[in-house]
């Protein structure tokens, strides 16, 4: 009875049609997400309690973490899969590719990390647009992949809502952060997320969880 009082009112996973959290930093020791294997397992346990059926690990591939390559991340991902005690939580590996100077080499030297062989999750910096970011999106398309822009609702300082909608019209898919709907990133971001949601622009949803606090704070 007591614990029931503290259950979230709605299951967060209802935003995700197949119950998959499509953006998370569950892999330990590779970026600013989970720091230890125990922390990775704790995050998975919290996601399961929220009703998620699985999660896509999307570690940052960015010049700040030059050690993250498709090869190295596959090794850590395999360690995580082996450490997860039960098989009823699906884990997939992709990446969150920053469209920075590092991107073209990372994207072309190895087969890029995609959750389904088709889609590539990309992000932009919060405060300035990289010079060649549109060329990088074209490069993704030229290689036969579909770019999915991570949390577009958070780019209010670099792109207008109209410019973001124009990207969607050009075939760039959107991934929304559930936390944006909860007001994690401010009122403007929440409103833009609601607008994009009403316009059915989100292809994926994710927690973008870096730690337990981020999951525990999620309330819809
Ligand atoms: Fe992220």
Ligand 1 ion: nearby residues, β-carbon < 5 Å: 96, 208
Number of domains present in the structure of the chain: 1
Residues 29 and 70 sit within 8 Å (Cβ to Cβ): no
Q: What is the pLDDT of residue 14?
A: 75
> In this structure, what DSSP letter does residue 145 have?
-
Tokens read off for 50: 């929220």
Q: How far is the CA of 107 from the centre of ligand 1 (A)?
A: 17
CATH of residue 106's domain is 3.20.20.140
Q: What residues make up the domain containing 165?
A: 17-216
162, part of any domain = yes
Q: How far is the CA of 210 from the centre of ligand 1 (A)?
A: 8
126, part of any domain = yes
Distance (Å, whole) CA 121 – CA 57: 11
Tokens read off for 19: 């119950």
Residue 177, Cα to own-chain centre: how many angstroms? 7
The side-by-side arrangement of strands in the sheet containing 173-177 is 60-61, 96-98, 119-123, 146-150, 173-177, 202-206
Nearest to 149 by CA among 180, 124, 179: 124
3, part of any domain = no
Q: How far is the CA of 47 from the centre of ligand 1 (A)?
A: 16
93, part of any domain = yes
Q: How far is the CA of 60 from the centre of ligand 1 (A)?
A: 7
187, part of any domain = yes
Q: How far is the CA of 49 from the centre of ligand 1 (A)?
A: 21
10, part of any domain = no
Q: How far is the CA of 114 from the centre of ligand 1 (A)?
A: 15
Tens-binned pLDDT, residue by residue, of the chain (220 aa): 444 444 444 566 678 878 999 999 999 999 999 999 999 999 999 999 999 999 999 999 999 999 999 999 999 999 999 999 777 899 999 999 999 999 999 999 999 999 999 999 999 999 999 989 999 999 999 999 999 999 999 999 999 999 999 999 999 999 999 999 999 999 999 999 999 999 999 999 999 999 999 999 887 6
């Amino acid at each position: 009875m007591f614990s029931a009082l503290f259950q979230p009112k709605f299951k967060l996973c209802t935003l995700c049609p197949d119950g998959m959290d499509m953006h998370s930093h569950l892999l330990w020791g590779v970026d600013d997400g989970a720091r230890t294997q125990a922390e990775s397992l704790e995050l998975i346990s919290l996601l399961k309690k929220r009703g998620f059926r699985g999660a896509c690990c999307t570690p940052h591939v960015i010049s700040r973490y030059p050690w993250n390559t498709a090869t190295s991340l596959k090794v850590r991902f395999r360690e995580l899969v082996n450490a997860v005690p039960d098989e009823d939580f699906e884990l997939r590996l992709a990446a969150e590719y920053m469209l920075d100077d590092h991107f073209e080499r990372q994207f072309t030297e190895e087969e890029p990390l995609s959750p389904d062989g088709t889609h590539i999750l990309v992000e932009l910096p919060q405060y300035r647009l990289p010079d060649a970011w549109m060329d990088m999106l074209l490069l993704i398309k030229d290689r036969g992949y579909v770019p999915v822009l991570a949390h577009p609702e958070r780019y209010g300082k670099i792109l207008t809502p109209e410019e973001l909608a124009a990207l969607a019209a050009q075939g760039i898919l959107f991934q929304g952060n559930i936390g944006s709907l909860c007001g994690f990133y401010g009122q403007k971001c929440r409103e833009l997320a609601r607008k994009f949601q009403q316009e059915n622009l989100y292809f994926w949803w994710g927690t973008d969880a870096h730690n337990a606090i981020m999951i525990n704070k999620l309330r819809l």
